[in-house]
Amino acid sequence: MGDAQRAERAAFARQLVAVGHFAQRRLAAATGEHDVWCVDDFEAIAAEIGAELGISRARASSQMDYAITLLERFPHLAAALVAGEVDFRVIAAVIYRTGLITDTDAVATIDAAVAAKAPSWNTLSRERVTELVDWMVLAADPDAVRVATQRDVDRHIEVRPGNNGTAEIWGEVRGPDGAVFDAALDALAATVCPDDPRTTTQRRTDALSPLAVRATSMPCRCGAPDCPAAMNATPVTPVVINLIAQAATVEGSSDTPGYLPGYGAVPAATVREMAKTASLRPIPSATGLAAEPQYRPSAGAARFIGCRDLTCRWPGCDQPAMACDIDHTVPYPHGPTHPSNTKKYCRIHHLFKTFHAGPAGWTEIQLPDGTLVWTSPRGRTYTTTPTGARFFPQLGAPTQTLDLPNSPPPPSPYRDLAMPKRKRTRAQDRAYRIEHERAQNRARYETDPPPF
């Protein structure tokens, strides 16, 4: 077990070092002309790494940051990681807690000290590792200590997929807001009659949707014709969610579950209950779609593309299709508006495809069943298939085979003007954030000088 653990650490270290060397070479070759682009050279490199490793853009960017920092600021610690002596979670804590240090000599001192001590930290919790690193930072550069923000600043509400068609909601809010929310659920749960079959806990949970649309009551489920609360109506919400289900499920002749993008399977009984008040929209069949003369797809075609793809189609990206753009593989009007030539990309990858693809960059081929084949500038190939077709195979049926040009048209010489620009470059933004936190520490010391 111990040998396997060391081998696992060393294997990930080799991957991380390879990411760092690749990113360093690519950044060194960059001319700087894209530094103010929203999709700058760093984003372009992250897209390549994400495609190669099959991970999201955020994870690829994070690995780039860790790798470059290790190679440039912590060579001794990097050597310990490559040797399999240190868990990556220790490395991550060290890199973050020392992120505000600007003096290279101070960084070198901490690097040597941590590299010698970190192997004995593998059994410690992240909190203990943080305390040990902060102690070193405080001695080397007090202005660089990471100070926890106030709990009020950290308030949040999170929603994530649960099991069997459920979702989990948790967070931390201000006390008065929590009390108001709790009382509002109780008040709505009490608007049904005493014969409602649900428990109080279930009624409070079901009150969430009426509360979200500012309703003052919720429908009763006792089923009695003379129930005084049977006619409690829930206002129609302006928020739209898209749930995909087979017609047989909605009609009641099948128990195949529906699918709520981002949350997973929804039991057939829940689908039928929702269908009673939902707006039903049929998804066109793959064989019933034809090329359209306009740039934007019709509502039916857009519905088919969104349900077929479900997520951004860039390798490793899982941004929901509802938050993505519809992109023409062969740009319109050289390529038609048709499901065989269109798919979903999140805004960043849409911009990446628009500004970083072409004869000297990435090339893209779309097959009639929605499969995408990307080829990188270095000749590496990456393939993605539509996510929706994995749940509903009929969405993966081939659409019309198109006669498309073999090479895309040359880009407009004014294309770069359409790229959204940053107010500060990535390097300037990083330097600004570091100095801002250091200045806060200096102000805190002036108010309450050490020892605290």
Q: Can you read off the two tokens belonging to residue 337?
A: 């508006």
Strands 372-375 and 381-384, how do they pair?
Answer: antiparallel
| pTM more than 0.85 | no
pLDDT score recorded for residue 43 = 92
Residue found under tokens 């740009």: 331
Mean pLDDT of 165-188: 86
Task: Please report, for the chain, how many H helices and E strands are present, in that order.
Answer: 16, 9
Locus of tokens 């294997």: 11
What's the confidence (pLDDT) of residue 417?
Answer: 77
Which is nearest to 310 in space by CA: 301, 323, 299, 300? 323
114: Cβ contacts below 8 Å, ≥ 6 apart = 74, 76, 77, 94, 133, 136
SS3 label, residue 364 = strand
Average confidence (pLDDT) over 262-276:
87
Give pLDDT, residue 52.
92
Asked whether residue 317 carries a pLDDT value surpassing 60, the answer given is yes
Longest dimension (CA), the chain: 81
pLDDT at residue 129, as a whole number: 93
Contact indicator for 392, 259 with CB cutoff of 8 Å: yes
Quick one: how far is CA 105 from the chain centroid?
37
Each residue's pLDDT tens digit, 372-403: 999 988 889 999 999 999 999 999 999 999 88
Q: Is pLDDT above 70 for 366?
A: yes
Confidence of residue 214 (pLDDT cuts 50, 70, 90): confident
Q: Which residues of 286-312 are buried (b: 16+ CB within 10 A; e: fewer)?
A: beebeeeeeeebeeebbbbbbbbbbbb
Given a cut of 90, whether residue 80 has pLDDT beyond it is yes
pLDDT tens digits for range 95-125 = 999 999 999 999 999 999 999 999 999 999 9
Tell me whether strands 363-366 and 372-375 are parallel, antiparallel or unpaired: antiparallel
Residue ranges covered by each domain of the chain:
2-144, 290-412
Secondary structure element (H or E) that encloses residue 186, with its range: helix 175-189
How remote is the C-alpha of 359 from its chain's centroid?
Answer: 30
Asked if the bond preceding 261 is cis, omega within 30° of 0, the reply is: no
Phi, psi of 91 (to 5 degrees): -60, -45
In the prediction, which pLDDT does 372 show? 95
- How confident is the model over 294-313, as a mean pLDDT? 94
Spatial CA neighbour of 49 closest among 62, 32, 36: 62
Q: How far apart are CA 164 and CA 117, in angstroms?
A: 46
- Average pLDDT of the chain is 88
Q: Model confidence over 118-173: pLDDT tens digits?
A: 999 999 998 899 999 999 999 999 999 888 655 556 788 888 888 777 888 988 88
pLDDT above 70 covers a percentage of the chain that reads 94
Distance CA 209, CA 205 (A): 9
Range from 11-20, 148-157, 328-337 that averages highest in pLDDT: 11-20
Q: What is the pLDDT, as a whole number, of residue 450?
A: 65
Which residue spans within 287-426 are E strands per DSSP?
A: 325-328, 342-345, 363-366, 372-375, 381-384
pLDDT for 359: 72
Contacts of 252-260 with CB under 8 Å at 24 or more apart are 257/165, 259/391, 259/392, 260/165
Provide the pLDDT confidence category of residue 407 given band limits of 50, 70 and 90.
low
Cα(429)–Cα(117) distance, rounded to whole angstroms?
33
In the sheet that holds 363-366, the strands lie side by side as: 363-366, 372-375, 381-384
Q: How far apart are CA 161 and CA 87, in angstroms?
A: 29
Q: What is the DSSP string of 312-379?
A: --STT---BGGGSEEEESSPTTTS-BSTTSEEEE-HHHHHHHHHHBSTTSBEEEE-TTS-EEEE-TTS
Q: CA 379 to CA 367: how far, in whole Å?
A: 19
| pLDDT given at position 440 | 87
Least confident span in 10-19, 235-244, 282-291: 235-244
Yes or no: say if 436 and 55 are a contact pair by the CB < 8 Å rule: no
